[in-house]
C-alpha cells in the first residue's frame, strides 16, 4: 500500500441488532465493531460493495 492509496472513513451510525446476518457480516468485514466506531478502509470495489450493501447503517467520508 502506497501513501497515495485512496481511503474512505466509515462510521457505524445505526445498530446491528436485529439486522440480516449478511449485513452484520459486511459491517464486521469492514472492521466495524460497535456504534459510532470509525475505521479507515482502502477504497476498493470489494469494500465499496460492502459499503453499498449496508449504506443505511453507515456514514461514509473521503479520507
Q: How far apart are CA 43 and CA 41, in angstroms?
A: 6
Grid coordinates in use for 56?
443505511
45-60 pLDDT, tens digit each:
999 999 999 999 999 9
Predicted TM-score of the model (pTM): 0.90
Q: Could you tell me the domains of the chain?
A: 7-62 (3.30.1390.20)
Which phi and psi (to 5°) does residue 25 adopt? -65, -35
What phi and psi values does residue 19 have, to the nearest 5 degrees? -85, 165
Model pLDDT, residue 1 = 65
Q: Per residue in 29-41, pLDDT tens?
A: 999 999 999 999 9
- Would you give the end-to-end CA distance of the chain in angstroms? 15
Residue 28: band (very low, low, confident or very high) from pLDDT cuts 50, 70, 90:
very high
Amino acid at each position: 500500500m502506497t501513501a497515495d492509496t485512496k481511503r474512505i472513513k466509515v462510521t457505524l451510525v445505526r445498530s446491528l441488532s436485529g439486522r440480516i446476518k449478511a449485513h452484520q457480516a459486511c459491517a464486521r468485514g469492514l472492521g466495524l465493531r460497535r456504534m459510532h466506531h470509525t475505521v479507515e478502509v482502502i477504497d476498493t470495489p470489494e469494500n465499496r460493495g460492502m459499503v453499498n450493501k449496508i449504506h443505511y447503517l453507515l456514514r461514509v467520508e473521503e479520507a
